[in-house]
Structure 1
Amino acid sequence: MNPTQRELFELAKNASGVLHLIGKQLSDADAQAIAEGLKVNTTLDTLFLGQNQIGDAGARAIAEAIQANSTLTGLGLYENQIGHAGAQAFAEALKENQTLRHLALNGNQIGDAGAQVIAEALKVNTTLTDLHLKDNFLSNAGTTALRQTGNITSELAQIAAGAAAKAATEIQQLRSKLATNEQELASKDQEFATSKQQLAAQEQELQQLRSDLAVKDQMLATNEQELATNLQDLQQLRSELAAKDHELKAALDRIDVFERNQPAVGSASNFDGTILQVPLATLVAATNNFDADSLLGTGAFSRVYGATLPGPRVAIKRVSAESIHNYVAFQSELDTLSQFRHPNIIAILSYANSHDEYCLVYEFMPNGSVRDRLDCKNNTPPLTWAQRHRIAADVSRGMHYVQTAFPDHVLFHLDLKPDNVLLDAYFNAKVSDFGLVRVAQLDDQSYVRTQNVQGTKVYMCPEYLESGRMTIKTDVYAFGMILLELVTAAKPGILLKRTARKAANNQKCIEMLDSALHPTEAEGQSVGELVNLALECLEDFAADRPSFGSILVTLDP
């Protein structure tokens, strides 16, 4: 028993006089607990259990209890869910019980079979004088069986009279319904005649439509012939456009070569000043001995800490000296970033170099990486479409500068991805992490080759991944994957590329957009343009990819 049933047991066991448990939502299990208490009760006279949810199982338990109880004279089980099995249990109890005088079973689900077994029990029971069975499922067969017992005739007469009145009412209702149906049938006959006339008129109209359709078919055949001619003209125009597009790409590539042979101008400049070397102890003190509370993020071979040195807040990249590879990456990044300054390239401020570890000090980027913002890390709001488009333009501008900053050689980043694109307080993007950068001399060769392929595989173009070939289009492939991530906020991969190509072919690029965004009509058009640009950057053959110069013209005309 649960606590409620234990309480009901104690109540039934110790009650005296009259016990009211009406409308308590009592179940069969509750009734069984009450029955157990009733078996040992010697002072209870009347028990009311009406308007509950007691079914046959609960009724059987109560029936067994009244066989053992010798004081109960009144039992009310009206408006429950007792059926034939419960009625049969009470019939068996009435054969044994000699104290019960009043039994209320009205408003249950007892049928003729249940009434008949109770009637048989009443033939041997001489004490029950008041039996209520109204509002059950009884017909004349059930009431007749009960009436023949002779000792409860008053309510049975009422049941029989009620059944007869109910039958008369139902007959009257059926007659009324029949008359209504006859009227409806006559109305339907009239409607059918009208519909038949309308159908004849519609058939005549259909014949006219067929005649008109034949004329339209003839006109359509003529139009199809004209369309075929127009399609041939369109195909010719497409061929001419493809040729012009090829010429444009070739011209833009020539412009790139020209720009690489010019000195940098504008806000970007070659930087040949000395990067300040600071004592490692200064950085240790600024980060409280590289305490975890100062940690901003971790990479494969380094950790980045926030700190405050004299001047603005900075980010300190701590590179472990566990392998020569880490030292090479440290020196490569230091050498590269020491050569120039650009608004879209992370600025190195100072460095520390000891026998067991190396540190690079950068300008602090308060809005973290593009990947963190696409993931809404730390519950940050999603990037707006305008911010995403500007990030794409900033990255292309920074990479165009990296490839054209020096007249005699070109730089390959080789680890371009959203994790390595950082955002300042105004969400201006800056390319970072130049630890894998490679330098190639500009000569007659269009590519260089390496046996040591490094970077993040999903951003590697086929020729670099498979054979170690690097060209000025190698980083363009990674940029194409970044564009798809900016559009969708999804993780990179071959599936994302395939999904984008399918969406572009079906002109459904807008369906790829990050669900957190609700673009305007103009922004929706921009989404399609960015997806198509990404797919150009992700072409398998390097020659088919645009240069960063042409990408920048598209994104920042």
Structure 2
Amino acid sequence: MASARTPRQRELFEIAKSYSWVNLKSSGIADETAVVIAEGLKENRNLQMLDLSDNQIGDAGAQAIGAALRKKTKLSVLLLSNNKIGETGARAIAEGLQTSTALTQLGMHTNQIGDAGAQAIGPALRDKAKLSLLHLESNKIGDAGARAIAEGLKTSTTLTKLGMRANLVGDAGAQAIGSVLRNKASLTGLYLDKNTIGDTGARAIADGLQTTTALTELRMNANQIGDAGAQAIGTALRNKANLSLLYLNSNRIGDSGAIAIAEGMQMSTALIDLRMNTNQIGDAGAQAIASTLRNKANLSILYLDENKVGDAGARAVAEGLQVSTALTRLGMDSNRIGHAGAQAIAAALRNKANLSRLSLSNNKIGDTGAQAIAESLQTATALTELGMQTNHIGDAGAQAIGSTLRNKANLSILYLHRNKIGDTGARAIAEGLQTLSALTDFRMNDNQIGDAGAHAIGSALRNKATLSKLSLSNNQISSSAAQLLSQSVPKTCEFSAESQRGSFQDATPPASPSVISTKTAHLSDTPSSPLPTSDSMSQDVRQLQARIAQLELAQQTTNPINSGIPRVPLQVLSQATAQFSESKRIGAGGFGHVYSGVWSGQPVAVKRLAAGSNQGVAQFESELEALSRFRHPNIVTIMCYAQEGNERCLAFELMANGSVRDRLDRKGGTPALSWDQRRNIATSIANAMHFVQTAIPRQPLFHLDLKTDNVLLDAQFNAKVADFGLTRSAPMQVDGQSYVHTQTVQGTLLYICPEYQHEGKVSIKTDVYSYGMILLELVTGQPPSLNLMANVRRELKKSRKVDAVLDKAIDWSIQDKEAAQAMAELASDCLETVRVDRPSFGEILRRLSGKEAAGANEEEAVAGSDRECLVCFNAPTNAKLMPCYHACVCVACAQWMIQRQDKCMICRVPPTSFQEGTFNQTFVQ
């Protein structure tokens, strides 16, 4: 056998045989070579350290290595991370470690161990009293595996770091881990982020951490922790003076939880990295966090993005940061910060010379706030990223920002898109760009930039060899200027300048709507009410409305694809998915295959049309058109598309937790969805469908393939409806009596209602029937079937209870059983054979909310009582756009849209005025 070895294998054999410290990390080792190394290890009696991480070792190689380790009593360090080891290999390694009582470090993260592998490793750890470091991250370990690992760690009193992040650990596993932490006084790092731990598990972990006074790093981000769990963690932190890193981002923590965390951190003067972004923290929570920052002189990173912090909270945070001279990164985007908050933050940044990243995007910052921020950044010469997109910044703010860019030689990312910047501001930004030799990503799309600004930007970018992305779409740039600008950027740069408004590149546009005042028009609630202007003005408005209606109809019949969605070269999506690699394929359907990838720094799912699929072409156009017309938190977001010849691709936001059906099936060993999660999923689907049915008057949208496979879950298990490929819409009255007729019946048989299946009749009650089947799946966990429907109805008829068919994967409380009973009854109503007997989605939302019978208008109020502006998502819908009468934005955003000549996100007609009021529906008649 030795003679058949390659020279490289013979060399590795000798290393494995001879050295006590064998370091073969990142050596391109696969199973065949691993077997050779294992043969060398068998002869090595002095082995103390073996590092085979970052290779391609699978089960066969791991089995050989495991066998070679059986008598290695001196082994103290074993590192096998970043390989392809599964359950079989993990069991072999565990068996090999039985006699290694000197083991201090075991690293097997980023493999495919699963529960079975973890259950084998757990017992192997029982006599490892000296174990100080255990890393099992990214291995698909669930509660069963976590319990086994916890049991194995009971005697490891010297444990300093425990890593189980990015697994499938829920409350049961967390409770086991919490219990075993009680005697781990030396623990310095605990990494449990990216699991499914809720308040129960968080409380157990917090209880276990009470005695770990040496703790320096705690990561529990991307779980399901709410205020109760955060309050327990806050209590556990009170004696953690050495805590330097705390990650609790991407949970469900509100003000009370944030206040408890802040109180717990008072003594943590060593804190350098605090992340509580993507929670539900408002001003009260931010003020509490700010108070604890006053003694954190070494704080380097603070992320509070994607919360509900307004000016009061921002002012407090700014005051707390005054002493943090070491600050390098500050993230407060996607909050509710305006001028006052921005000015306070600016004052706090003046002594932050080391600041490298500042993100204040998606707030309400205008020119005054932008000018203050720009002035404060003058001394921040280390700045590499600046994000101030989706604010209200105009030319004055842009001029200030341009001035401060001149000494930012290291700036690589600059985001100023979705503001109100015109040519003057663009020229100032361009002048500031002259010295930026490291620029890679520059975005100023969705502003008011014309040719003058475009020429200035083009001139500034001519020497930017590192530039990889430039976006200037949705401005006012002519095609000739855009073409000239494209020649100023590197050939490898992803350049976008589509969908220009008011540009010179198109044919003569329709008559200008300038005759309509851009001031607020105080109209009545009905479109037929006369305008409070002169007769000639009213006639002009009526003529314009008729013209708009003609344009809308022409657009629907001749151009189904909305150009507002970015169109990118096919090569861009090919590169994003590693040339549509099989290793990136995450799904398939009638349309074609779906691949994971990264586009513009964001994880995406790319749906690629199968070659020669005529049906797929229609579905591609239908889905692109449907998703370009609607924006809603419970509808999957389309990011971009590609269309070249017969090739068509759609790129969507990547939903980390897959489909509802996969989670109900517990595919991949994932934990069962909790009842709260299922109830939220039911409400989210109903919200999405009610929205698409009522957003455009007399033109409801039909999904026609609504099923649990087409409802996707993000990292926080928020549900979003996807796959609108069979979508249809047609002018009709929005009631249960009306229908349209189709000759083609498509969809999934078990979800199709009788009148659609047998007669081709489609109405607003068609998707309700499909929704009823989804509710049964959520209650029972079972896949759809006629038997499922019959069984639930039989139980309801026999005993008025559905306990016998409830999903046994859930530990049901009495209250949850009652809620499931109500959902099953609602499902039965949705599955009525006669469509007029089915509830509408508005009524469904009312029943899900537990409200009693409502009046005619209350149904709409239930669905829209918490409606937020579809532009900023941070303010109520108190502006009704004119002349289309769509009530879907706030006053500030309505003014912004009119100034930018932007289009209504529902009908794509440019608004020319708006009416103030309280509008809980998208369309108010």
Q: TM-score, normalised by structure 1?
A: 0.51
Question: In structure 1, which of residues 457, 461, 464 is the aligned counterpart of residue 756 of structure 2?
Answer: 464
State the match for 2:565 in structure 1. Answer: 275
SS in 2 for 1:441: coil
Q: Which runs of 4+ in 1 moved over 6 A?
A: 258-261
In structure 2, relative to structure 1, the CA distance for the partners of 1:259 and 1:375 (3 Å cut) is: farther
Q: Which amino acid aligns with 1:502?
A: R
Greater shift, 480-489 or 305-314, is seen at 305-314
Kept in 2, the 8 Å contact 1:260–1:405? The answer is no
Q: Which amino acid aligns with 2:779?
A: V
CA distance in 2, matches of 1:550, 1:414: 20
CA distance in 1, matches of 2:730, 2:562: 19
Aligned pairs, number = 291
Greater shift, 458-467 or 509-518, is seen at 509-518
State the match for 1:393 in structure 2. Answer: 683
Does residue 654 of structure 2 align to residue 364 of structure 1? Answer: yes
- CA positional deviation for 1:553: 1.1
Kept in 1, the 8 Å contact 2:655–2:715? The answer is yes
Q: Quick one: percent identity of the two aligned structures? A: 49
- Higher Rg of the two aligned structures: 1
Does residue 597 of structure 2 align to residue 304 of structure 1? Answer: no
- CA positional deviation for 1:355: 1.1
State the match for 1:546 in structure 2. Answer: 839
State the match for 1:60 in structure 2. Answer: none
CA distance in 2, matches of 1:405, 1:458: 28
CA distance in 2, matches of 1:259, 1:365: 40
SS in 2 for 1:362: strand
Q: Determine which structure has the larger helix proportion and give its number.
A: 1
CA distance in 1, matches of 2:733, 2:776: 33
The C-alpha deviation readout for 1:174-202, integer Å capped at 9, x for no partner, is: xxxxxxxxxxxxxxxxxxxxxxxxxxxxx
Question: In structure 1, which of residues 350, 353, 366 is the aligned counterpart of residue 640 of structure 2?
Answer: 350
Kept in 1, the 8 Å contact 2:591–2:619? The answer is no
State the match for 1:451 in structure 2. Answer: 743
Matches within 5 A, 1:147-162: none
Kept in 2, the 8 Å contact 1:272–1:340? The answer is no
Does residue 813 of structure 2 align to residue 527 of structure 1? Answer: no
CA distance in 1, matches of 2:744, 2:829: 27
CA distance in 2, matches of 1:394, 1:260: 30
Kept in 2, the 8 Å contact 1:479–1:537? The answer is yes
Question: In structure 2, which of residues 747, 760, 765 is the aligned counterpart of residue 473 of structure 1?
Answer: 765
The C-alpha deviation readout for 1:380-411, integer Å capped at 9, x for no partner, is: 10100110011000000000001001013111
State the match for 2:783 in structure 1. Answer: 491
In structure 2, relative to structure 1, the CA distance for the partners of 1:470 and 1:418 (3 Å cut) is: same
State the match for 1:90 in structure 2. Answer: none
SS in 2 for 1:360: strand
CA distance in 1, matches of 2:616, 2:590: 10
State the match for 1:27 in structure 2. Answer: none
The C-alpha deviation readout for 1:183-230, integer Å capped at 9, x for no partner, is: xxxxxxxxxxxxxxxxxxxxxxxxxxxxxxxxxxxxxxxxxxxxxxxx
Q: Which amino acid aligns with 2:616?
A: N
Q: TM-score, normalised by structure 2?
A: 0.31
Q: Which amino acid aligns with 1:525?
A: E
SS in 2 for 1:338: helix
SS in 2 for 1:426: coil
Kept in 1, the 8 Å contact 2:706–2:751? The answer is yes
- CA positional deviation for 1:443: 4.5
- CA positional deviation for 1:539: 0.2
In structure 2, relative to structure 1, the CA distance for the partners of 1:272 and 1:322 (3 Å cut) is: closer
Kept in 2, the 8 Å contact 1:260–1:407? The answer is no
CA distance in 2, matches of 1:260, 1:300: 42
- CA positional deviation for 1:555: 1.3
State the match for 1:381 in structure 2. Answer: 671
CA distance in 1, matches of 2:583, 2:527: 44
CA distance in 2, matches of 1:347, 1:285: 21
The C-alpha deviation readout for 1:298-328, integer Å capped at 9, x for no partner, is: 1122211110122221111111131321101
Does residue 619 of structure 2 align to residue 320 of structure 1? Answer: no
Q: Which amino acid aligns with 2:781?
A: A
- CA positional deviation for 1:260: 13
List gaps (5 residues or longer) in structure 2.
1-524, 529-560, 852-925
The C-alpha deviation readout for 1:317-363, integer Å capped at 9, x for no partner, is: 11113132110100000011001100000110100001122100101
Kept in 2, the 8 Å contact 1:423–1:429? The answer is yes
State the match for 1:130 in structure 2. Answer: none
SS in 2 for 1:331: helix
Kept in 2, the 8 Å contact 1:320–1:356? The answer is no
Does residue 797 of structure 2 align to residue 507 of structure 1? Answer: no
Question: In structure 2, which of residues 700, 703, 711 is the aligned counterpart of residue 413 of structure 1?
Answer: 703
Q: Which amino acid aligns with 2:793?
A: R
Cα RMSD (Å): 2.1
Q: Per chain length, whose mean CA-contact separation is higher, i.e. which structure has more relative contact order (CA < 8 Å, sep 6+)?
A: 1
Kept in 1, the 8 Å contact 2:745–2:756? The answer is yes
